[in-house]
Homo-oligomer: A and B are copies of this chain.
């Protein structure tokens, strides 16, 4: 069985972190799939999917850290060539990857107590970000 659903979420960009665990749980419930996997995918080349303990202090730490790694002020050939000023967003997204697949068991994603599924939008402006969730199993 395969059950897919796309939703959009409003983000502020600049590696804004949004907790989408609830949305993913609901899509798995709608699928009636008990055992399998769920693939969570950020559509576009400036966002990433991962997990974290979703709480404000750690979210701020993460944004600090990625700003040290690939600064928003980074001069890039991409921004110079295309004038869209989001070269840093693309680099952050390619490093982290756009997708994640997590086991589903007992009709729910297999997660730790303090582990939430997140989309991180690296773009340099607020966006309506598309997330596609594909559930497979039986």
**A43 in contact (CB, < 8 A):** yes
A45 cross-chain contacts in B, Cβ below 8 A: 51-53, 112, 114-116
How many copies, total?
Answer: 3
Q: How far is the CA of A56 from the CA of B90 in the complex (A)?
A: 13
Asked whether A132 lies within 8 Å of B114 as measured between CB atoms, the reply is: no
The binding surface of chain A is classed by DSSP as: mixed
Q: How far is the CA of A55 from the CA of B52 in the complex (A)?
A: 29
Neighbour of A103 across the interface among B51, B60, B93, B132, CB < 8 A: B132
Q: How far is the CA of A51 from the CA of B48 in the complex (A)?
A: 10
Known contacts being A111-B43, A115-B43, A132-B105, is A98 close to B57, with CB within 8 Å? no
B-contact bits for A62-102, CB 8 A (1 contact / 0 none): 10010001100000111011100001001101111111111
**Contacts A43-B111, A97-B97 known; 5 new A-B pairs at CB < 8 A:** A45-B116, A55-B82, A58-B78, A60-B77, A61-B78
